[in-house]
Amino acid sequence: MFVLKGVGASPGVAIGPAVILPGDSFAVTRQYVDPSEVKAELSKMKTAMDKTMRELDSCEKKVLATLGQEYAQLMSTHKLILQDPSLHDSVRKKIKDEHLSAQAAIFLTLQELAASFDKIEDPFFKERRNDVFDVGKRLAKNLEADKGEFLASIKKPSILIAHTLYPSDTINLQENQVLGFCTDIGGKTSHTAILAQSLKMPAVVGLSSAAKQVQKDDTVIVDGDNGLLIINPDRYTLANYKKIQRENKKAEALLKTINHLPVITQDGHPLKLFVNYDPRTDTKENKKLITDGLGLLRTEFLFMNTPTPPSEEDQHRMYLAVAKRFDMRPATIRLADLGGDKMPQFPLDEFDQEQNPFMGCRGVRLLLKNPELLHTQLRAILHTACEVPAQIRIMIPMVSSVEEVRHVRNAYNQALQELEQEGKKPVNKVALGAMIEVPAAAMALDGMIGLLDFISIGTNDLIQYLIAVDRVNQEVAHMYDPCHPAVIRTLNLIIQTAHKRGKKVSICGELASDAKMLPLLLGLEVDALSVTPRMFLRVKNNIRNLNFETCSDMAQAALLMGSSEEIRSLIEQNKNEDS
């Protein structure tokens, strides 16, 4: 038996045989292939090369149009590297003669090339190895595009072990016999984790070396509550976890009995509880939940994996289905938060590779630079509001200044006018709000609140930006700390500023379903929470067991504290008193 400690990304226990996902660019998980697979590996290689060539082609065209001939030449250099016979020959030879996997062949070839470049003394020439690596990485990335195929080949219920999983991979897991998964990379708030929660799939991330330590068909236990991966458990441990699995099932059944009860604290303080909704993972069970509405519809998925942006009609159809699903309850649709780790395939302005994409052109910034995207989406949403008596709300992502809000407000008004000229008018007024996730927007909220109908706090990004911690960087991920005094004070500032102007504040993001943080959020007088369907009843149960007055006192005390340590012990203390 062997236990690896990571971060619990999605609660629950899953037990089963391990399958190992062929790895990410630079973590080769499968060194050799069977001689009978050589042909398949070669054709995989060919497909990846063709795809890389097409990418470089379109990149070159774009560079040519924006930066000119001089820079476009750099891309043609990359194309030549890709076509270079010494690269081809070496990779083909390694696959054919040594039966290496395509991935391993590329990796080794790159290593050899790098070694040759390293021998060069002139630093100017040495630098060129970076060009070679750039192309190599692209190639390796395109080679792993076959994940879908791999997942489809899983025949029995299994636990997936991967170096890293992208949100787009995660979405395909459930239909592919995956009971739970583990990854080496990633944190609790990565989008992969969030998707796992909505799929109700136990998951542990940030394990560093699981992909290397687990063998295919090892029996493994994923303990999503404690962030553990147990490899080849002994009999006692296995029995123990099976018992936990049964108990979890019972607890879940118990939670269902509170579905029809109001969301209210013991001392009568009401709260709205919304659900974050993803139409791709909606289930019968989710539909049974009695919620106050849709707190966050992420629309990025409409823009991903498509060669062209979705048309107004396409979007409209989708939004209409969502509006109908939530009937007369509020349905909050967030404008596409593209950029960062969500890169569409179709070309966009201001969309070159960025050094620091999370601080780059994403969310509203990207939309304002691509006004046709913004316009189409606004029209599609407003059009929906003309056809059903729903309470549709539009949320702007990544706002950092009042000017941005004003621009979107103008675009909103323009779209509204156009529809009116076409004889269409929203049945109910469509509210326009902002996601507050940039510290600047929190600090200067008083300047923009007048233009907003509501606000929602995106805690994942807010904390990340506030503490300057990249939540997927393992070196600093532990510093991502919701108990940091700066976080509590900023939340307080946002809520108080909004309340002064009579605007409601909701919190969406991981923090909203964190049982330990819940009393603080309530005490800070947040009006609504939005959580995943998976967490919905648990959060509701937790709220119903809290006392608002105690929460208030606690929040006031926390606001006076200067360290996370103090705040954390305050929370723990409160928890102990409760039980």
Give the residue numbers annotated as catalytic, written as ranges: 191, 508
Region from 80-88, 147-155, 170-178, 270-278 binding other proteins, contact rule CB under 8 A: 80-88
Phi, psi of 426 (to 5 degrees): -60, 140
Region from 69-77, 144-152, 212-220, 547-555 binding other proteins, contact rule CB under 8 A: 69-77
74 binds other proteins (CB under 8 A): yes
DSSP string computed for 516-541: TTHHHHHHTT--EEEE-HHHHHHHHH
128 binds other proteins (CB under 8 A): yes
User: Which position has the token pair 């050899």?
Assistant: 112
- The distance of closest approach from Cβ of residue 55 to other proteins in the complex, given in angstroms and rounded to an integer, is 18
How far is the C-alpha of 513 from the C-alpha of 471, rounded, in Å? 18
3-state SS string over 85-99? HHHHHHHHHHHHHHC
64 binds other proteins (CB under 8 A): no
569 binds other proteins (CB under 8 A): no
49 binds other proteins (CB under 8 A): no
116 binds other proteins (CB under 8 A): yes
Query: Please, which residue, 89 or 420, has the CB nearer to other proteins?
Result: 89
Which one of 40, 67, 120, 359 is in contact with other proteins (CB under 8 A)?
120
| Pairing assessment for the beta strands 158-162 and 13-20 based on DSSP bridges | parallel
Q: In the Cβ-directed half-sphere of 415, how many Cα atoms lie within 13 Å?
A: 25
Quick check: 312 and 374 in contact, CB under 8 A? no
Which one of 87, 178, 273, 462 is in contact with other proteins (CB under 8 A)?
87
Which one of 37, 62, 117, 146 is in contact with other proteins (CB under 8 A)?
117
346 binds other proteins (CB under 8 A): no
- The distance of closest approach from Cβ of residue 346 to other proteins in the complex, given in angstroms and rounded to an integer, is 29
Residue 509 region, left (φ>0) first, then alpha (ψ -120 to 50), else beta? left
Sheet strand arrangement including 228-231? 2-5, 228-231, 219-223, 13-20, 158-162, 178-183, 203-205, 7-10
Residues whose CB falls within 8 Å of the CB of residue 518, separated by 6 or more in sequence, listed in order = 539, 542, 543, 546
Which one of 124, 156, 250, 353 is in contact with other proteins (CB under 8 A)?
124
122 binds other proteins (CB under 8 A): yes
132 binds other proteins (CB under 8 A): yes
Query: Please, which residue, 117 or 150, has the CB nearer to other proteins?
Result: 117
DSSP 267: T
244 binds other proteins (CB under 8 A): no
Quick check: 281 and 534 in contact, CB under 8 A? no
73 binds other proteins (CB under 8 A): yes
Considering CB under 8 A, how many residues would be counted as binding other proteins?
Answer: 21
**Which 532-551 residues touch other proteins, going by CB under 8 A?**
none
Is the C-alpha dihedral spanning 59, 62, 64, 67 positive or negative? Answer: negative
- The distance of closest approach from Cβ of residue 127 to other proteins in the complex, given in angstroms and rounded to an integer, is 9
Quick check: 459 and 507 in contact, CB under 8 A? yes
32 binds other proteins (CB under 8 A): no
125 binds other proteins (CB under 8 A): yes
Residues whose CB falls within 8 Å of the CB of residue 176, separated by 6 or more in sequence, listed in order = 151, 152, 154
Q: Which residues of 531-540 are buried (b: 16+ CB within 10 A; e: fewer)?
A: bbbbbbbbbb
- The distance of closest approach from Cβ of residue 122 to other proteins in the complex, given in angstroms and rounded to an integer, is 5
- The distance of closest approach from Cβ of residue 192 to other proteins in the complex, given in angstroms and rounded to an integer, is 36
Query: Please, which residue, 120 or 486, has the CB nearer to other proteins?
Result: 120
Residue 342 region, left (φ>0) first, then alpha (ψ -120 to 50), else beta? beta
Which one of 34, 69, 97, 121 is in contact with other proteins (CB under 8 A)?
121
Query: Please, which residue, 84 or 387, has the CB nearer to other proteins?
Result: 84
How far is the C-alpha of 38 from the C-alpha of 228, rounded, in Å? 37
91 binds other proteins (CB under 8 A): no
**Which 94-113 residues touch other proteins, going by CB under 8 A?**
113
Region from 16-24, 127-135, 181-189, 255-263 binding other proteins, contact rule CB under 8 A: 127-135
Quick check: 201 and 178 in contact, CB under 8 A? yes
From first CA to last CA, the distance across the chain in angstroms is 34
Region from 77-85, 279-287, 292-300, 401-409 binding other proteins, contact rule CB under 8 A: 77-85
Q: State the residues that interact with other proteins by CB under 8 A.
A: 73-74, 76-77, 80-81, 84-87, 113, 116-117, 120-122, 124-125, 128, 131-132
